[in-house]
Structure 1
Amino acid sequence: MGLFKRNPFGHILFLKKWLIRIMGAMTHRRFRGFNELQIEGSEIIKELPERNVLFISNHQTYFADVVAMFHVFNASLSGRVDSIKNVGYLWNPKLNIYYVAAKETMKAGFLPKLLAYAGSVSIERTWRAEGKDVNRQVRMSDISNIGKALDDGWVITFPQGTTTPFKPIRKGTAHIIKRYKPIVVPIVIDGFRRSFDKKGIRIKKKNILQSMEIKQPLEIDYDGETTDEIVKKIEFAIEQHPSFLKVLTPQQIKEQEELNKLREW
C-alpha cells in the first residue's frame, strides 16, 4: 500500500489505518472490560465478499454502535469467532468499512470529525435537521456516495435513522438495496443504550452485558420485491417491527428483571 494511497472519498489509507488502530485501542475496554460484549454469529463475517455488503442494524447510540461493529468485524476477519479478545486484530484493519451518518452529527466537534475520517458516508437527513422536523428532497449525491462506498467495500447503515426504538424504517434503505443489489446482513444490538450516553462517548453505567447478533444475509428478490416489502423484511430482520412490542404481565416483568440481573457482567 502506497504511503499516500487514497480511498474513493479522498481519505489517505495510511492515516485511516493508524486512526482505527489508535481509536480501537482506546475504545476496546468499553466492550471488553468496563462492559462485556456478547457476540453471536460473527463467523458469517468471514464468508462475505470483499465488496457490496450492506449491514443493517437497529440503532442505540450515535457512535458506540459503529465502533463496536468495527471491533467485531475486524476480530472476525482475523480468525476470532464471537470474540474481541486481544486487540491485536486491529493491527491490520479492514480499511473499506464505511457507515452512513447524518452530516450535521459528523461535523459537531473534533471527535466526530475524526470518526468521520475513519469511514463515515455523511448524508443530509431529509426528515430532521438541527433538532427540528423538516421535509426535504433526498440528495442524489448522497445516494451516489453510498453506492460508491458499496462499490469499494462494506457499508453499515441504521435504516430507522434515529436511536429511538421502533421508529419506522426509512424507505431510502430499500431504494438503495434495489438499486445497488448488495448482500444485506442484519444485525441486532442491545445494551448500548444502558451502558453509554446518547452519543455513545461517555460511559453511563458499567458492568452491562451488551449484545450483538449477526444474522444470515436476507434473501431478497431485488427486481421482484417492492420497496414496501423490503421495508417490512428489514423491520423483522432487525427486530423493530411493531409485533416485537407487547404488553407484559407482572410475572413476565419480574422474570425479565431477574434475567437482566443474570445478564449483568
Structure 2
Amino acid sequence: MGLFKKNPFGHNLFLKKWLIRILAVVSHQRYKRFNKLEIEGSEVIRSLPDVNVLFVSNHQTYFADVVAMFHVFNASLSGREDSIKNLGYIWQPKLNMYYIAAAETMKKSLLTKVLAYAGSISVERTWRSEGKEVNRQVKMSDISNIGKALNDGWVITFPQGTTTPWKPLRKGTAHIIKKYKPVVVPVVIDGFRRSFDKKGLRVKKKGILQSMVIKEPLEIDYDNESTESIIEKLEYAIEQHPSFLKVISKEELLAYEEENQQRRWKTS
C-alpha cells in the first residue's frame, strides 16, 4: 500500500492504519484485562463478502461498542475463534470498515476527531441537535456517504440513535437497506453500559462480563418488503423489540442486573 493512497472519503490509508493500530493498543486491555469480552459468531465474520455489509447493533456507549467491534472483526478475520487474544491481529487491520456517528459528537474534541478519521461516517441527526429536540430533513449527502462506504466495505450502524435501551429504531436504516441492498448482520452487545461511562472512554467498573453476539445475516426481500417490516425484523434481531420487555417482569430485570453484578470475571 502506497504512502499516499486514500479511501473514497479522502483519508490517507497509511495514516488511518497507524491510528487504528495505536487506538487498538490503547484500548485492548479494556476488553481483555480490566473486563472480559465474551464473543460468539467469529465464523460469521469470516464468511462475509469484502464490501456492502451493514452491521446493525444495539447501542450502550458512544465509543466503547464500536471500538470493541473493530477488535472483534479484525481478530476474527485473522483467524481468532471468538477471541481477541494476541493483539497481532491489528497489525494489518481491515481499512474499509466504517461506522455511522452523529456529526456533532465527532467534532467535540481532538480525540473524537481522531476516532472519526479511523472510520466515522458523520451524519446530522434529524431529531436531536446540541441536546435539543429538532425536526429536520435528512441530508442527501449523508445518505450518499453511507452508500459510498458500503460500496467500499463494511458499515456499522446503531439504528436506535441513542444509548438508551428499548427505543424505537430509526426508519432511515430500513431506507438505506432497501436502497443499497447490503448483507445485513445483526450484532447484540451487553455489559458495556455497566463497565464504561456513557461516552465509553472511561472504565467505570472492572471485572464486568461484556458480551458480543454476531448473528447470521438476515433474509430480506429488498424490493417487496416494507420499511416497517424491515424495522420490526431488525428490532427482533438486535433484541430491542418491545415484546422483549413484555415477557420480562420488573422483578426479573432486577434479578438479571444483580446476577450480572455477581458474574464478575477475575482480572489478571
TM-score, with length taken from structure 1:
0.97
**2:63 matches 1:63:** yes
* Superposed displacement of residue 260, structure 1: 2.0
SS of structure 2 residue aligned to 1:30: helix
Aligned to 1:196: 196
Partner of 2:186: 186
SS in 1 for 2:44: helix
Taking every aligned residue pair, what percent have the same amino acid on both sides?
Answer: 74
In the alignment, what sits opposite 2:249?
A: 248
| Structure-1 residue corresponding to 2:82 | 82
Aligned residues: 264
Structure 1 spans left out of the alignment, 5+ residues: none
Counterpart CA distance in 1 for 2:56 and 2:81 is 20
Distance (Å, rounded) in 1 between the aligned partners of 2:147 and 2:98: 11
RMSD: 1.2
Aligned residue identity for 2:227: T
Report the Cα distance in structure 1 between the residues aligned to 2:262 and 2:132, rounded to whole angstroms.
40
1:53-202 to 2 correspondence within 5 Å? 53-202=53-202
Distance verdict in 2 for CA 1:180–1:254, change over 3 Å: closer
Aligned to 1:214: 214
1:253 and 1:158 map into 2 onto residues whose CA distance is 23
How many Å separate the matches in 2 of 1:102 and 1:261?
31
CA distance in 2, matches of 1:64, 1:224: 36
Partner of 1:52: 52
CA distance in 1, matches of 2:253, 2:176: 39
Q: Which amino acid in structure 2 is aligned with residue 142 of structure 1?
A: D
Aligned residue for 1:245, secondary structure, equals helix
Which structure 2 segments of 5+ residues have no match? none
Provide the rounded CA distance (Å) in 1 between the counterparts of 2:22 and 2:30: 14
For 1:96 and 1:52, locate their aligned partners in 2 and report how far apart those are by CA, in whole Å: 10
Relative to 1, partners in 2 of residues 1:101 and 1:222: Cα closer, same or farther, differing over 3 Å? same
CA-to-aligned-CA distance 1:220-253 (integer Å, 9 cap, x gap): 0000100000000010000000011145275x46
Instruction: Give how far 1:53 is off.
Output: 0.1
Which segments of structure 1 move beyond 6 Å, counting only runs of 4 or more? Answer: none
User: Deviations for 1:46-74, whole angstroms, at most 9, x for unmatched residues?
Assistant: 00000000000000000000000000000
258 and 113 in structure 1: CA distance in 2 versus 1, 3 angstrom threshold = closer
- Aligned partner of 1:6 in structure 2 is 6
How far off is 1:42 after superposition? 1.5
SS at match of 1:31: helix
Q: SS where residue 199 of structure 1 aligns?
A: coil
TM-score by length of 2: 0.96
Tell me, what secondary structure is at the counterpart of 1:50? Answer: coil
